[in-house]
Amino acid sequence: MSNVPHMSPLARLAMQFTALIQQNPQLVLDGWEVGGSLPDRMIPLDELSGLLLQRRVDWQTKDAAWAEIVRRVQSDDQFWTVGALGVGLPGLRRAARLVKDEVNGDAGDVEADVIIGFLEALRGADPAMRRLHTHLWRMAYQRGLATRSATERDSDWASPGRPVPLVSRRGHVDLVLLRAVDAGVLTGVDAEVVGRNRIERLHLTTVARDLGLSYADCRLRLHEAERRLADYLGHRGER
C-alpha cells in the first residue's frame, strides 16, 4: 500500500483500483463465460462492481462472477488481488460502516481489519462454495468486529494475526529480510515494518510514526509482508 497522508485505507484502495483499471485495460471478466444475467461481453472490473450490486443480478450469477475472481486471486495474481478488492469496494464500505456502529475503535483501524478479512476470505475460499459472495462479506465484517479499542490495541505488541517464524535455518533473521528484499518479495519499507515490530519488538504505533505511515497502513503492510515472507521461506525450504 502506498503512503498517502490523511487518506483512509478504503479511500486509498479506491484510488489504487482506479489507477489499476486505467493502466491495465486487460483486467476484465468475460460475461459470456460467467453467464447468468451479466452482459455477453468483456466487462471492465469497475463496471462489474456496479453490475453486481443490481437486484436483477441473481445470487447464482454473483457467485459465478466471484468464483472466477477468487480463482484468479488464488493463482497469486497481484493485479487481480487489487482488482478483487476494487470490485468488492461497495461491500467493504458497507461492512466498515456496520462495524463502526458496533465497535469503539478508530475508523482507519476498522477499515484495515475489514480489508484484511476480505483478503483472507479471497485466499481461503472454495470457488465452488454456495453463496460465495455472501461468505466474502461476512468474513470481512467479522474480522472488522474483532477490532479492539485503541486502548486495548496499544496494550499489545502487534496486530492480531498468525505469527510468522522469521528465523531461518539458512542464516540470521536480518539476512532473511535482506534476501527477501533482494528477491523482490518485500519492499524496503515492508522489511522495516517487519523488522522493527517482530524483531526489535517495537509497538506498531511507534513503527508507523517512525516510518511516516498511518497506523492502519502500517498494519496492512505487516499483514501482507508476513504472508509473502511465509510463502517465500516455504518455497526456499522446498529446494
pLDDT tens digits, residue range 69-88? 999 999 977 899 999 999 99
The C-alpha cell 478479512 sits at 117
Question: What mean pLDDT do residues 210-225 have?
Answer: 85
Number of H helices, E strands in the chain: 13, 2
State the pLDDT at residue 102: 80
Q: What average pLDDT does the structure give for the chain?
A: 82
State the pLDDT at residue 203: 87
State the pLDDT at residue 157: 43
pLDDT tens digits, residue range 188-199? 888 888 888 888
Closest CA to 216 of 105, 55, 67, 66: 105
Distance CA 104, CA 112 (A): 15
Q: Is the pLDDT of residue 171 over 80?
A: no
Distance CA 7, CA 214 (A): 9
Domain positions in the chain: 9-149, 156-238
Backbone Cα Rg of the chain:
19
86 vs 16, 104, 183, CA distance in Å? 8, 26, 28
Question: What mean pLDDT do residues 125-148 have?
Answer: 85
28 beta partners? 44
CATH class, domain 156-238, is mainly alpha
